[in-house]
Structure 1
């Protein structure tokens, strides 16, 4: 296994362990400047992830790190893109649908991705260059790489079915534009089923064949999507910008993503 991918896997699981320690106790919620919620879990997970990634000597873009000015970032060919707790709203609701997202980006393109779901000890990981993505269910946050490899199953998207289209919708961010997209599918004669999930699990649903398409016509940041895009790209699923009709790119001057569509 790629050494950097192994580092990201280890970081995500250790972060997941401390996230669950906070999850299982009373915790306070702060509001950041953009009014998004922040908990002790975000901060502690970020510290743990940094402790694993800083020794790689590759720069890090993390939701919870102070952002480096683009005059410096634009010189980075390779960097990590991290969301220590993706789905903080789901975390606060205690519905288990939150993740740790870690991706490695080269020249703006995700090449490795890890999504860990700590509430159910489930790990998704991908090596895009080798076109492989996997899912492993762990017994606990304790693990060995041998166990992960032995218990990993290859992700396979579903075959298209024109009669039934399963559309991934957000638990907390269903926009009118997404509802309009669903109506368009229905007008074309398709039966539509909405599959609701929080956080980057929406990417995983498409990658593992539990849904056909994920339209995201609402704001996201690069750290929300980089790991999920890597996992999807590794199994032939595209993540296409509605602005450019090309794949989403990373380490942009503006870290806000355009709207996008995830599908074959």
Structure 2
């Protein structure tokens, strides 16, 4: 049941946050994962905790975590945990406070419960298919901006390179946060009009945040405008766009045709 799962994810996220904070700003050991960026001893400690808590509570659920070897067994399960123990590891290493714990339950390709927790800020975002998007227990809503010009967009500078925009780079206000899950939540609460990621995105970074943004009223898709599906054999999406519905349409059109 998604409501029951949401309570489990919430409790697990808070416990994971306590572990992460033991390592934060304590010069944790860091390794480089080829093609995936840095990982710290904190990532592994949080992952071990989450595996024990979540799989212990739902033994029949599949498992997809950034810090564990993937297995095709998850494809045969009715529900699967999709998670990133610490999203925004570079921010975590730098001692910044915007890293997050991102946890979701996916059923039939769709996130049904999601939690994004920022331990250093004690900020909690939650949603399920049966419950609204909340920030620290209070309802949140995405922006209603309809056009691109002047919009606030969370994205990296390379995504605004001219080659991506046939009709010219739009006039907008760009910001950035290291945690992709947090970017989706900032769109969910309307602090930014949208977020854009053109390169492929790992499912564990976006499953929880995409549900929270959608339940807050944002439109969420891949970079081509197609709906996101999760628990794929190769767990990557073709980029992510999450934005107010009118802005989302404008971004997809401008990216595709320069309209």
TM category, shorter: 0.7 to 0.9
The root-mean-square deviation of aligned C-alpha atoms, in Å, is 2.1
Given that 2:31 and 2:40 are in contact with CA atoms closer than 8 Å, whether structure 1 keeps it comes out as: yes
- Listed one character per residue, the Cα deviations across residues 119-175 of structure 1 (whole Å, up to 9, x for unaligned) are 111100001x22501011xxxxxxxxxxxxxxx110111221545311112xxxx25
Matched ranges for 1:227-242 at <5 A: 227-242=208-223
CA change 1:178–1:260 in 2 (3 A) is farther
Q: What's the counterpart of residue 65 of structure 2?
A: 62
Given that 2:143 and 2:218 are in contact with CA atoms closer than 8 Å, whether structure 1 keeps it comes out as: no
Deviation at 1:76, TM superposition (A): 2.1
Q: What's the counterpart of residue 176 of structure 1?
A: 158
> Structure 2 unaligned runs (5+)?
246-259
Residue 99 of structure 1 pairs with residue 79 of structure 2: no
Given that 1:42 and 1:64 are in contact with CA atoms closer than 8 Å, whether structure 2 keeps it comes out as: yes
Residue 159 of structure 1 pairs with residue 139 of structure 2: no
Number of matched residues?
Answer: 239
Deviation at 1:185, TM superposition (A): 8.6
TM-score (norm 1): 0.83
Q: What's the counterpart of residue 256 of structure 2?
A: none
Given that 1:215 and 1:260 are in contact with CA atoms closer than 8 Å, whether structure 2 keeps it comes out as: yes
Matched ranges for 1:208-219 at <5 A: 208-219=189-200
CA change 1:237–1:39 in 2 (3 A) is same
TM-score (norm 2): 0.85
* Alpha-carbon distance in structure 2 between the residues aligned to 1:184 and 1:261: 18
* Alpha-carbon distance in structure 1 between the residues aligned to 2:190 and 2:24: 29
Q: What's the counterpart of residue 255 of structure 2?
A: none
CA change 1:35–1:224 in 2 (3 A) is closer
